[in-house]
Every structure is written in structure tokens, then in C-alpha cells.
């Protein structure tokens, strides 16, 4: 599946095309409307969105910016809206990233997008639940709930927080 289809799969299937996909890195298939300079000063008015999602990317936010980005999400979510953060189990994340990195080195493929774009200081291959809970709680999200879903041996999960 190409990058554009992966990026919009969640928006198209689960939000009935009522969403916007944004990124910092110009992956193939993205348009300039999908690219932003950062995620802590987004060009949208307060309370613009019902839901904001961080799909398997929370670990790619440099550690010193995670709270700023979650605070910006809180500003953008309307009262009663929610944030969704997905993250894999640390062991599953390390195994998956290591496996793809080895494949790329052995076979000359480019499956590891993290290696292609380069990891910046403060990024990691996983984030522990404790840090996700802390960031969401400090920003003001309530009623945090964790759910597991079937990828990487049922070790991925998502957190949902509500803006009251």
C-alpha cells in the first residue's frame, strides 16, 4: 500500500473522510496542504476538531516537544471531543524496527521510513504508557481509557482521553 493510502486509511475508513492528515516530513504522495512546520502551532482556531489522533507516531515527537504538541491538541479539540494516541508495546516496537532495519541493510530495500528521513534527537522507538498518561493528564484530558487492538501480536494499544 502506498504512503498516501496508509496516511488516509484511518481518516477515510473510520472518520468517513471527515478529517485532515498532517505530517512534518514530505513522504511520497503527500501534498503541501498535508505538511506543517510543527505540531505545536497549528493554523486552526480553538475547538476546531472533534477528534485528534496520533497514529503510531507519539514516539517520533522529540521528548522535549511532546507536552507542547499535546497541549496544542487540547486547544484544538472541542469540548466533549477526544484525543486518540496509539502506541506499540516497547518489545514489539523494538523487534519491528530492528527487523525492518536488518531487511533494509541485507536486501537494499527502503522499508524503514525512520531511517530514510532520519531520527532527530529526542525521538525513540517507543514511549511507555506512563509518559502518555502523564502528557494527556497534564494537558487536561480526562477519563483516560486504554484499548488493545490486533497488530504486532495484540501488543498495540490506544489511549483515548476526553476534553471536558
Domain boundaries, the chain: 38-162
**pLDDT tens digits, one per residue of 76-114:** 999 999 999 988 888 888 887 788 888 888 888 877 666
Which of 90, 38, 78 lies closest to 61, judged by CA? Answer: 38
- CATH class in words for 38-162: alpha beta
Angle of helix 66-76 relative to helix 129-139, nearest 10 degrees, comes to: 50
Evaluate if residue 4 carries a pLDDT over 80: no
Whether the model pTM is above 0.85 = no
Residues 29-76 have pLDDT tens digits of: 677 888 899 999 999 999 999 999 898 889 889 999 999 999 999 999
Q: Which residue has the higher pLDDT, 117 or 144?
A: 144
Confidence of residue 13 (pLDDT cuts 50, 70, 90): low
Q: Rounded to an integer, what distance in angstroms lies between the CA atom of residue 16 and that of residue 40? A: 26
Inter-residue contact 76 to 42 (CB < 8 Å): yes
Amino acid at each position: 500500500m502506498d504512503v498516501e493510502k496508509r496516511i488516509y486509511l484511518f481518516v477515510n475508513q473510520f472518520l468517513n473522510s471527515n478529517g485532515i492528515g498532517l505530517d512534518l516530513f514530505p513522504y511520497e504522495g503527500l501534498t503541501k496542504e498535508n505538511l506543517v512546520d510543527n505540531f505545536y502551532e497549528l493554523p486552526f482556531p480553538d475547538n476546531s476538531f472533534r477528534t485528534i489522533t496520533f497514529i503510531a507516531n507519539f514516539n517520533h515527537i522529540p521528548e522535549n516537544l511532546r507536552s507542547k504538541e499535546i497541549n496544542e491538541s487540547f486547544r484544538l479539540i472541542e469540548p466533549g471531543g477526544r484525543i486518540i494516541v496509539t502506541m506499540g508495546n516497547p518489545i514489539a516496537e523494538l523487534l519491528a524496527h530492528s527487523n525492518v532495519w536488518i531487511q533494509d541493510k541485507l536486501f537494499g530495500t527502503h522499508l524503514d521510513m525512520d531511517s530514510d528521513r532520519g531520527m532527530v534527537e529526542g525521538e525513540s522507538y517507543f514511549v511507555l504508557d506512563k509518559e502518555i498518561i502523564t502528557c494527556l493528564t497534564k494537558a487536561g484530558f480526562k477519563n483516560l481509557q486504554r484499548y488493545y487492538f490486533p497488530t504486532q501480536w495484540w501488543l498495540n494499544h490506544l489511549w483515548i482521553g476526553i476534553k471536558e
